[in-house]
Structure 1
Amino acid sequence: MGFSEQIQLYFDYPHPQNDHPTQYVSVSIALCNVVAKVVGKVLATRLKSVLPSVISESHSVFVPQRLIMDNVLLSFEAHHFLKNQRLGKKGFMSIKLDMLKAYDRIEWSFLRAMLIKLDFSVLWVKIIMDYVTLESYSVLVNGDQTGYIKPSRGIRQGDPLSPYLFIICTEGLIALIRDACLKGTIKGIKLGAMLEHLSHLLFANDTLLLGEATVEEALSFKAILSQYEEWSGQKVSIQKSSVVFSPNVQKTNRDAITNILGMPEVATHGKYLGLPTIIGGSKKAIFTSPVERVKLRIVDWKQRILSKAGKEVWRLLIEPTSVLAKVFKAKYFSDEDYWTASMGPKSSFTWRSLISVRNIMKQAIRWKTGDGKTIRIWEDNWLNHTWLRKHITPTLEDFPNATVSDLIDKDIGTWNISKVRSGFYNVDSKEILKISLNNLNQADTLLWGPHQKGCFSVKTAYEFIHTLSQETSSGPTTSNSQRFNYKKFWKIKIQGKIKHFLWRALYDNLATSNKLRQRKVEVQQTFILCGIQEETVVHVLHLCRFTNRLLKITHIIGREISFQDLFELGW
């Protein structure tokens, strides 16, 4: 398989990427050939299917079945550990690395070596390297093509294949760190008695290194980074990198380590993967920026996710062998399970968040019976009649911790009919005996009850929470909130971004001047179109005379009602 150089031609279009560009790197955008992008997508689809078997667990993105939030939460836990190390002689540090022009500096020889090292076939390595090395660029000046540039290294920004090739290259850095850990020159941090030491977390070009705050460990990290830079062509941006120490590290030791690394010491890294590494004090102030960015970016509600906390709880339950699940279990419920674990006086913000959704999760999940060893008869939802209904038979005092497996005759692989009928009311025993036992050789399966296929869905999650409580604490506070038909709302056949806008309007959660002034943001109080009335959701979308011109065909103009009432009446 070969690639034409015409297919691999890219145009470099000088377009400012910020308000005050001072260098060419701040104005350049590579325009990818459509055919090349299609080829890249095909190769990326083939490659990502094998990544889980070759990429280390410390990578949490671009790898199927892994979540970026895993590394975010592990970072929270690591820095929570650092923050609490106030006593003792052994101090710890965290080093946040920023790579300079990460994609552009990758040496092709290093990429080839890593592909071979990870045991990809000779043919596949050739296909990938042909695709990467045949690229060329032509600069567009005033729309006209000007000459050709043939690069000798780097992978392209915006290419579907590039993220996967980059994380393959970073496996070289991980290998160096792992080797140092085996030799004992890097010790990392230990988040739990039964856990291995944690020495690094990676997300593409965001890297977090963790270890003991000693000169020896700093020298080891420095040597590893120098070796990786030499091999890969990567270069650490010293100005954007930083070091955080635990409170018990002496100043002389801090100064020595920062001098070795050449990086500044900071109280907190600020953000890792777009979120703060240490959470304390005002949560509102900390999360204002991420929340606003998310509001701007969300244009479609098809993503299947309940919430960050709910998603991570789900991973704790269905993937107990993941790194994140092991950390939480070792720290917070080593002798229990998630459902019975306590908060604890020194629990991190992340653990408190996961505990906060426990009651909702407990009511929303259901079990599909396998061998029955995991399902608690009296505690879990497992009857087929409806996922929301548990048994009505009262708990038998002699068997408070019984599991479903206790009701199965293992010799013949069927229900123990006499035990079921004698232990349960008739209505429950009938439902139990209807449950198929075709999967006795498999473990019980956890499902998301509100969803038809057992998966998370924003729509089903919202409807479930609304069923539990017609109006949550953060929900609408309007006169008709109890009768508003949310189920009908989610079925409206309009674009997702329009539906999202209307949903925010119903919750009075648009960035009007009224809302901004409540948050101490200095903005013009009156609506910019009329310049008379205060800018509120109701005024902008209903009461303003400019809006009225668009609503003449309705019969509700000029009434002092909430936008939610307006929406209900105007359906």
Structure 2
Amino acid sequence: MGFLHLYPKPEAMGAIHGAKACRRAPSISHLMFDDCILFFRAEAEESNQIVDILKTFEAASGQATNLNKSGISFSRNVSPATQADISAQLGVWNPLNTGKYLGLPSLIGSKKRAIFAYLKDRLWKRIQGWNGRPISKAGKEVLIKSIAQAIPSYCMQIFLLPVSLADELQRMMNSYWWGSRGNSRGIRWTKWDQLCVKKKNGGMGFRNLHGFNLAMLGKQDLYGGVFGVRRPYFGKVIVGESETAAIFPSGQSLGCATTQNLGDIAEITAIPLITHTHDLRIWSHSRDENYTVRSGYHLAMNTIYTGRGNAPASEWDKLWDLNILAWRTVHNWLPTRINLQSKRVMVPSTCANFASMFEQPWHLFYTCPYAQECWEISDVKNEIKQSPAELECFVEWFFHILGKLDVERRQSFVMTALGNLALT
């Protein structure tokens, strides 16, 4: 801690200049973690100041700096001759380790995809280990939500990952979810975006990685462009030679539209100013007006993906009491011949037992003679017979029958329907 008291004085005198993230950002001269990181200009005067500070600290504390374990890094604008002179003055020749620090890349350049490629490798190793095990869809859901989606979470708190990398991670998880093994891709029945929809709307509730990344970064900057929302600002209106401060909301982010009509200047300048209070940041998407990752993620999802399920939330709640195969049935994500043809699998489009009929869900579960025989001997035959004739859509028919049954008989209905799938 004594070292910290030696550094501010030369910095205040202008003998040492730190680094800035942007022009208006504060200068950062040093960072103290397990290691100490110093920032200064690549000039002989400033490097001599660093040497003097280190010598003073060594004399006062009795602790010496191990230069052999120290590293140095220069910006691209520094010439090789200047780099050699600075390294000689400091006695540090080792290049700064560009690996990981505290679990994150220590230096980030323009090639972010290559820098964060280790996330893809880690996910691939996990999935390869899971592929050798017989895991149900419910088990895969747990693995994806608890492990696979958590791999990039720590990194996404600090950095905005490339969208292409997030898409590739999602494709890997989507392939695993639909059953790819080894070199066999399997059939991906839908895109990852559809699986990211909430369960109450017909999805699986998986994360959209880019949306979650934006929500994590929202903690660092509430308004600053993360969600494409401009922050409000205090502007100035100049009328003649007088200058009056007024508040201008940008765009419609605060529910007010800006105007460029000169006739409104008098009304704007007449607004009384409040000078005895401080500005507050308010997040209107949560009840307590404080930002949370959950509320930020919901906003990002509404921005990125607006799709919803093909049934009301109350209907999907009935379905989740059953099993995932029933969920696939309602979405028509089954290997019927019509669906296989849409995935470029060379099979006939007609039913294997009745060549005059196309093999699609409505035929498979209702109009097929084999299906009719199964319903006739089931304990839900009365509900099947009494279903309205105008229900020609399979999804409407399926949810109509579920609404007529209690929980126990819903299980019987779904098992009979899946039995029809096995027969055909």
Higher helix share: 2
What is the TM-score normalised by the length of structure 2? 0.41
Higher strand share: 1
Relative contact order, higher structure (CA 8 A, sep 6+): 1
What is the TM-score normalised by the length of structure 1? 0.32
Q: Which has the larger radius of gyration?
A: 2
